[in-house]
Structure 1
Amino acid sequence: MTFSKWRASPSRLPNYCASNEIAPHELTYPIPGEIPLKPGLLLYWHTLRHLKPVQFYGRLLFRMRRPRPDLRAAPPLRPLAGTWQLAARRDPSLTGDGSFCFLGQRHDLSAIDGWNDGTLDKLWLYNLHYFDTLNASNSMALTAQHQRLLTRWIEANPTGHGNGWEPYPMSLRIVNWIKWALAGNTLDTRQLNSLAVQVRWLAGRLEIHLLGNHLFANAKALLFAGQFFMGPEADAWRVTALRILAREVPEQILADGAHFELSTMYHALALEDMLDLLNLAQAFDALDSQASDWRSRIPAMQSWLAMLSHPDGGIGFFNDAAFGIAVETTELARYADSLGFPAPQAPTDGVTHLAASGYLRLQLGASVLLLDAAAVGPDYLPGHAHADTLSFEWSLSGQRLLVNSGTSQYGLGAERLRQRGTAAHNTVQIDGADSSEVWSGFRVARRAYPHEIRIDAPGPVLDIDCAHDGYLRLPGKNIHRRHWRLAAGALAIHDRVSGPFRLAEAFFHLHPAIRVAPGAGRRQCTLLLPDGSAVHVAIDQGSISVQPDHWHPRFGVSQETHCLQIRFEGADLTTCFSWNHS
């Protein structure tokens, strides 16, 4: 394959990158060099200067205000005026009477210190308090167990104490209890009274200091309660919820349908949230004005999810993303269809630029590329960001070939930081620094901004060019520019780093199903796919090493794989992949 033009630089792309082959590299788990990020005044300044005022004073108010338990009986129930459709079903998590499996870990309530065991990961405990089991795919067969579990939770979690009374898990639990009731199950008087107490507590603990998906979840729970119950108290919950949603929905759902935190996983969760809100509106024949706006946004959200999904139907991994947290895309499609939203048209060959969010999809025959030319997220809310600017994922003939790290854990540990780092993604790292200064578990200081994106898709060849400024903070004032060229049977990636540097490396992380056959030199290798086909890799300069790697498709899961780690020998590096497309 000959590439006739190279628009990203004065030089021309070589006629298919043929050179020497690489020998196997000594296999050691790669711990990329990092610039130490010890929290100091400069790091805090670049983190905090983007925040909204409410995130400062709201945190103070949240800590100072603590509502008093309101143990009054629940308001009366509102009768349905329409039909509640079967909501999205999650994978089962209740594995026995009081035994649960979350995040790849199985625990029994009788074998641990109850609902707030300090020896367990907090995210696992959060999942325990969500009560997703009430709306799992096997929930119809577990009614008796669920009834016992509801009573058990009430008895073990006094008002205001423990993880279950934190606003986010409480919001999800309130919605799950109400969904379970709307699906035809019965909440007894004690359970209804507990539900009302939880809603009252939540109404005084809204996460205005966190904003984003947390505040959205709070408002959604208040709206569910405001519709499920009736009377002046329920009306007040509904008014508060609608006021928040009227502000948050237009901000959080971008013009191309993306959820503004720019995580494919959280986007799928946001789409489910929007479908739930519409389901609620139809069931009670209410909320006409805002429901019309919600309805208008859902098709774009469906299309965005389809464009950022691989041919295997699963999401691409950009920012915090993994399987098993949001419901499967097929189940979301089933749920959407039941509410009058058919599946969007299947993506076709060409370039799709999701301009509001910054992502692109390149598709040509059996080859699908998902490109990240996006900001890391909202400036004031980058908590789920990875330093993955100008990374991409690639599927060939339905098989994922190149994959970003994924996410196996939250928290403050070194592994969490590694998974967020640039070297865990299919992009370029300079002098051991991350393209955006990710630190702690959910913090970002200086961050990369993509610019100068150019698209040229004349037909048989698709060209994308983009740069980012995340490395301007380094002594070399570096700019990373990347050019993708996709043609029949060939993908070429040209990386250019402007400004002086000590070390620049490109990373290409392989799906665990892909094997590597090294050659005799250091500039060529072959990727072997499960179907027996092969993809040949060659670089024009530099050196390739094959390193052990890990892919994290689910929380609590780490799968062994390999990574092509390519060291620059100059300012430019061209990596060419070729395969038989006949």
Structure 2
Amino acid sequence: MRLWRTVRHLKPVQVYGRAWFRLARPKPDLSPAPALRVLAGCWVSPAARPPSMTGPRAFRFLNVDGAQDEIGWDGPEREKLWRYNQHYFDDLNAEGAANRVQWHRALIEEWIGANPPGQGTGWEPYPTSLRIVNWIKWALAGNPLSAEARWSLAVQARWLIRRLEWHLLGNHLFANAKALLFAGSVFAGPEAERWLARGEAILARQMPEQILPDGGHFELSTMYHALALEDMLDLVNLARTRGGTAPELAVSGMLRWLAAMCHPDGQIAFFNDAAFGVAPVPAALIAYAERLGFSAPAEPGPLTWHEDTGYARLAAGPAVLLADLARIGPEYLPGHAHADTLSFELSLYGQRVIVNGGTSVYGYGPERSRQRGTAAHSTATVAGADSSEVWGGFRVARRAYPFDLRVTEDPDGALSATGAHDGYRRLPGAPVHRRDWRLTARGLSVSDSVNPAASAEARYLLAPGIQVETTGVREGTLSLHDGESIRWRADGGPVRIEPARWHHAFGQSQDTQCLVLPLADGASRMTFDWS
């Protein structure tokens, strides 16, 4: 039944596309590469990530080191996501890449020789897509590709166009189409025009679906939004280099959405799959947009309600609150969803105070399930269950649907957000969780109710380094890094303090603590006072 409740949301193309993808076995086309196209414009320097090469044949991905001599290109010594990164070639366009050109040139030639066309992890569609783009961006930056590398690029593009990820859709299909656009833009002739036309046709359908009217990416992950914004900026850059038209209208809205979903520290909030170090930092994306002629987004106002994506930003005095009133993501594509409905994050005096757990692992296993579960987020759990049935690494069965959403400024100047969700209706009594936030320049109150009353707890995950002191079973203080102090007081059951973990980057976690407030008779309220 769980499997049925998962697959019933899929689009038909995902079902028959999966069967086709597993059964189809195209042969690589090894014919010579088309001629190069004469480009009309100049390539603008893109957003750069931190370097990932630590030596001529050594890497650091996901905060784990590896040497080429030890693991090769497909070694089982590293998890699959690490090996995916190995085949991306992100370092070609990373910070200081000009100082590693000889490493890059040798690495490209080694990859061609060690990865026969169509074989191994490196020829799966997603790493193939990212590698095509990275090789071409490196070439556009002034690093000529050898004849063998140009041939390999053409073979990769021919392979990709027959291995498009229709069974996954979302960011994977977008990456496939982007790679075809890049390949079709730098090569000339009828074959390159077919790549270009196929990429343009896919993006013409996918962009309106994936970029919502409020500017947010439809998978509702701040991290994947930043990656999608990088993709859009690259496409604008490429179109101008080729001398064609560019999808520029979506960029400004995406920049505004990203700015509103960042903390005062300049980094993204953690909703759904999110971590630092995967996408370029927001400042790098904004700088890239400015180099392309876009205006930097204005500073968000006190109240921002992203109605299409379902996220709210409330800012008053020294406080910034980001609230998740969103559905988990597209019905047919919840792979990056967490059971985090009605969670929130809070910064005070420029420091994160209340957070969500983040993401440090992909794949399958109990730790991935725990990180996606409700208890790893600053929201309420009922009967120890997850608000949405996350399972299998990237699956979701029954989902929480938010309703009765309001984001307002009260007559007294306080900022309020409220919403409910039905994710726990599968439990006995069909309880509904409702949460209300009320923020002023002096403090925050968070009220939770579960109706009908059931065993429930409101969880407040603290950022690492926040010191907790109790002055009673329902009150105490939080001490911030800069010496500021916040008083907290609870209405409900006695508060307990649990050890917890914050997963700020892949492969990395930090110890922290969580305030756990049991609901009494189906209700609780937590008040934070920094006046």
Aligned amino acid, residue 45 of structure 2: L
Q: Verify: 1:540 aligned to 2:498, yes or no.
A: no
Residues 325-363 of structure 1: CA deviation (Å, up to 9, x unaligned): 0001111011000111121100122x2110010000000
Quick check: 2:453–2:521 contact (8 Å CA) kept in 1? no
Q: Verify: 1:97 aligned to 2:56, yes or no.
A: yes
Residues 61-113 of structure 1: CA deviation (Å, up to 9, x unaligned): 1112121111111101111101110011110000001110000100100122x
Q: What corresponds to 1:579 in structure 2? A: 530
Q: What corresponds to 1:69 in structure 2? A: 28
Quick check: 2:165–2:176 contact (8 Å CA) kept in 1? yes
In the superposition, the TM-score normalised over structure 1's length comes to 0.90
Residues 249-305 of structure 1: CA deviation (Å, up to 9, x unaligned): 00000000010000000000000000000100000101x2xx2xx211111100000
1:98-497 alignment, distance < 5 Å? 98-112=57-71, 114-286=72-244, 288=245, 291=246, 294-349=247-302, 351-458=303-410, 460-497=413-450
Q: What corresponds to 2:452 in structure 1? A: 499
Deviation at 1:457, TM superposition (A): 0.3
Aligned amino acid, residue 82 of structure 1: G
Indicate the RMSD between aligned Cα atoms, in angstroms: 0.8
1:528 aligned to which of 464, 479, 494: 479
Aligned residue pairs total: 530
Q: Verify: 1:562 aligned to 2:520, yes or no.
A: no
Residues 390-426 of structure 1: CA deviation (Å, up to 9, x unaligned): 0000000100000100000001110100000000000
In the superposition, the TM-score normalised over structure 2's length comes to 0.99
Quote the Cα distance in structure 1 between the aligned partners of 2:63 and 2:530.
Answer: 37
Q: Verify: 1:55 aligned to 2:8, yes or no.
A: no
Quick check: 2:449–2:519 contact (8 Å CA) kept in 1? no
Aligned amino acid, residue 524 of structure 1: E
Deviation at 1:167, TM superposition (A): 0.1
Quote the Cα distance in structure 2 between the aligned partners of 1:476 and 1:105.
Answer: 47
Structure 2: tracts of 5 or more residues without a match: none
Aligned amino acid, residue 460 of structure 1: G
Residues 31-50 of structure 1: CA deviation (Å, up to 9, x unaligned): xxxxxxxxxxx101110111
Runs of 4+ in 1 over 2 A off after TM superposition: none
Q: What corresponds to 1:13 in structure 2? A: none
Deviation at 1:500, TM superposition (A): 4.1
Quick check: 1:66–1:205 contact (8 Å CA) kept in 2? no
Aligned amino acid, residue 571 of structure 1: G
Quote the Cα distance in structure 2 between the aligned partners of 1:490 and 1:189.
Answer: 64
Q: What corresponds to 1:80 in structure 2? A: 39
Quote the Cα distance in structure 2 between the aligned partners of 1:530 and 1:69.
Answer: 57
Percent of aligned positions that are identical: 56
Instruction: State the SS of the aligned residue for 2:508.
Output: coil
Instruction: State the SS of the aligned residue for 2:488.
Output: strand
Quote the Cα distance in structure 2 between the aligned partners of 1:66 and 1:183.
Answer: 35
Quote the Cα distance in structure 2 between the aligned partners of 1:299 and 1:69.
Answer: 40
Quote the Cα distance in structure 2 between the aligned partners of 1:146 and 1:491.
Answer: 51
Quote the Cα distance in structure 2 between the aligned partners of 1:208 and 1:82.
Answer: 33
Deviation at 1:196, TM superposition (A): 0.6
Quote the Cα distance in structure 2 between the aligned partners of 1:455 and 1:154.
Answer: 54
Quote the Cα distance in structure 1 between the aligned partners of 2:20 and 2:528.
Answer: 55
Quote the Cα distance in structure 1 between the aligned partners of 2:452 and 2:216.
Answer: 34
Residues 537-568 of structure 1: CA deviation (Å, up to 9, x unaligned): 11122111111111011000010111111112
Q: What corresponds to 2:2 in structure 1? A: 43
Instruction: State the SS of the aligned residue for 1:508.
Output: strand
Instruction: State the SS of the aligned residue for 1:160.
Output: coil
Instruction: State the SS of the aligned residue for 2:248.
Output: helix
Aligned amino acid, residue 498 of structure 1: N
Structure 1: tracts of 5 or more residues without a match: 1-41
Quick check: 1:75–1:196 contact (8 Å CA) kept in 2? yes
Q: Which has the higher contact order (CA 8 A, sep 6+)?
A: 1
Quick check: 2:318–2:441 contact (8 Å CA) kept in 1? no
Quote the Cα distance in structure 2 between the aligned partners of 1:342 and 1:331.
Answer: 14
Instruction: State the SS of the aligned residue for 1:201.
Output: helix
Quick check: 1:543–1:568 contact (8 Å CA) kept in 2? no
Deviation at 1:513, TM superposition (A): 2.2
Q: Verify: 1:510 aligned to 2:462, yes or no.
A: yes
Residues 130-173 of structure 1: CA deviation (Å, up to 9, x unaligned): 00010001110011111110011011100111100000000000
Quote the Cα distance in structure 2 between the aligned partners of 1:440 and 1:92.
Answer: 32
Quote the Cα distance in structure 2 between the aligned partners of 1:76 and 1:456.
Answer: 58
Instruction: State the SS of the aligned residue for 2:9.
Output: coil
Quote the Cα distance in structure 2 between the aligned partners of 1:522 and 1:120.
Answer: 46
Quote the Cα distance in structure 1 between the aligned partners of 2:215 and 2:124.
Answer: 30
Quote the Cα distance in structure 1 between the aligned partners of 2:480 and 2:424.
Answer: 35
